[in-house]
């Protein structure tokens, strides 16, 4: 059994075939967390989770939606009480997709949005799924440092840094707080960076999970196809290879980690 801890079946790319994607995954004993990025996709994630066994939902507003979406506290709070909602997010800090002319204004809105998510998660005792991406021209790790300072100050560490893309020193800082990281099909890419490989090798086995981030980031073996939860198997295989471990062991402990972290 595997758990894809981060997929976007509620996104447009899956409009026509999310049922088939779920079926293909469930036939191979893959469970999944369907992650919302705005109110509409959060709502749809809940609908999908309600209609399929082995599918769970996470609800939140992605930092790139800070300009076009309000975080409706009472709606998100009500939905967070549902059994199928197992996490808050994805949310976080994004320096990549922003209008540089309004940089300070947008980043301060992202900080407020992140605070709202952290407060809600703390109140409901739910984990948080975090996104972070550095700016196009800034040095590596700036968005992660920005995110780190907010998380540290707020003091709620039941968080996962999804699709982790920082360096090992940054990963260690978050791990020291008690946060988890998760890896996508990028670990299978021919051009996967030395930095990422080092993190995959070094992170303790009880501190990371696997995900597809589908429909994005199809693993190397499926390049050109639309990514889907079933392909999380390639992520586990890639990690087993990098860490020189047995595939079955990686499958077993990453599943256990996801069950514990998301309380499934
Ligand atoms: Zn995502």
pLDDT (tens digit per residue) in 17-71: 999 999 999 999 999 999 999 999 999 999 999 999 999 999 999 999 999 998 9
CATH code (residue 159): 3.20.20.140
Q: Ligand 1 centroid to 7 CA: how many Å?
A: 6
The reported pTM is: 0.97
Residue 256 has pLDDT above 80, yes or no: yes
CA-nearest of 100, 98, 99, 132 to 114 is 132
Q: Ligand 1 centroid to 8 CA: how many Å?
A: 7
3-state SS, residue 183: strand
Q: Ligand 1 centroid to 6 CA: how many Å?
A: 6
Q: Ligand 1 centroid to 35 CA: how many Å?
A: 7
Strand partners, 3: 31
Number of domains in the chain: 1
56 in Cβ contact with 34 (< 8 Å): yes
Q: Ligand 1 centroid to 58 CA: how many Å?
A: 11
CA distance 226 to 152: 36
The reported pLDDT for the residue numbered 138 is 74
Residue numbers of the domain that contains 11: 2-262
Give 4-13 pLDDT, tens digit per residue.
999 999 999 9
């Amino acid at each position: 059994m595997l758990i894809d801890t981060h997929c976007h079946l509620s996104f447009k790319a899956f409009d026509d075939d999310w049922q088939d994607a779920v079926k293909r995954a469930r036939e191979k004993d893959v469970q999944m967390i369907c992650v919302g990025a705005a109110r509409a996709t959060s709502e749809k994630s809940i609908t999908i989770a309600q209609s399929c066994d082995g599918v769970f939902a996470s609800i939140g507003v992605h930092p790139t939606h800070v300009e076009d979406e309000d975080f409706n506290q009472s709606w998100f709070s009500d939905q967070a009480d549902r059994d199928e909602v197992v996490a808050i997010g994805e949310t976080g800090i994004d320096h990549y997709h922003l209008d540089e002319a309004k940089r300070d204004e947008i980043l301060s809105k992202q900080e407020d949005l992140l605070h709202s998510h952290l407060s809600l998660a703390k109140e409901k005792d739910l984990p948080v799924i975090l996104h972070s991406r550095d700016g196009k021209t800034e040095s590596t790790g700036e968005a992660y440092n920005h995110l780190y300072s907010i998380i540290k100050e707020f003091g709620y560490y039941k968080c996962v840094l999804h699709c982790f893309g920082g360096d090992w020193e940054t990963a260690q800082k978050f791990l020291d707080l008690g946060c988890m990281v998760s890896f996508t099909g990028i670990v299978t890419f021919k051009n996967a960076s030395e930095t990422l490989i080092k993190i995959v090798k070094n992170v303790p086995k009880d501190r990371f999970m696997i995900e597809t981030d589908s429909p994005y980031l199809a693993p190397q073996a499926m390049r050109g196809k639309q990514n889907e939860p079933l392909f999380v198997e390639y992520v586990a295989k890639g990690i087993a290879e990098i860490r020189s471990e047995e595939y079955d062991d990686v499958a077993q402990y990453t599943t256990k980690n996801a069950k514990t972290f998301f309380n499934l």
